[in-house]
Amino acid sequence: MNKTLLTIATLALLTLFTSAYYSAPADSRIGYKAPALILDNNNGLSPLMQHQGENVLLTFWASSDAESRLTNLRYDRLSRQPGVAYNHVSVNLDRSVNVFNTIVQLDDLNRSAQFSTSADAQETIIKCWRLNEGYHTFLIDKSGKIVAVDPDAATLAAIK
C-alpha cells in the first residue's frame, strides 16, 4: 500500500514539474500562444513584450492595402475610447519609413502605438503570423494566447 502511494505521489510530482516547463507552441491561430514579434528598427524590443501580462490588440497593415489601412484606423480610434481594457499595437509592413510616417500623420494615428519594421524582418513576420494571404488583427489575452482574429467592436468592448 505504501509503495503504491509513493509511486502515485512520485508520478504526480513528475507530471506537475514537467508540465510547468512545457510551453505551448507559438502559432497565429486562435488558442495558440502568439508568435514572437521583434522589429529590427525598435532596438530589439518587442512591442508585445512591452505589454506582457496585458490584453493586446495587434494590427498588421500596409498603406498599399486600403482595407488594412482603414482597419488600422478604426482600431486606433476604438483604442482611444475611455475604459478600454487592451493596448493597441500596430505594425506597418510598408517598405518605406517615409510613407509610414506620412500615413501616421495624415490619419492622425496614435504615434506611440504605431511601429514600422525593416524589409529584412517583414518576411519572418509574414510567415510567423500567416499574413501571406492578407493582413489581420489579433486579440491576445494576458497570458499571451490569441483569442480572436479580426475582432469586432462588441468583442473588444467585452474585454475585462
Is 4 domain-assigned? no
CATH number at residue 63: 3.40.30.10
pLDDT digits (tens, 9 = 90+) for 114-160: 999 888 889 999 999 999 989 999 999 999 999 999 999 999 999 98
Give the range of the structural domain holding residue 88, as residue numbers without chain letter.
Answer: 25-157
- Torsion (CA) 27, 58, 36, 50 in degrees, nearest 10: -150
Give per-residue pLDDT as tens, 29-44: 899 999 988 776 555 5
Taking only the tens place, the pLDDT of each residue in 52-109 is 999 999 999 999 999 999 999 999 999 999 999 999 999 999 989 899 999 999 999 9
Domain-embedded: residue 114: yes
Residue 137 lies in a domain: yes
Residue 107 covered by a domain: yes
d(CA 94, CA 61): 8
Alpha-carbon dihedral sign for residues 148, 153, 155, 158: positive
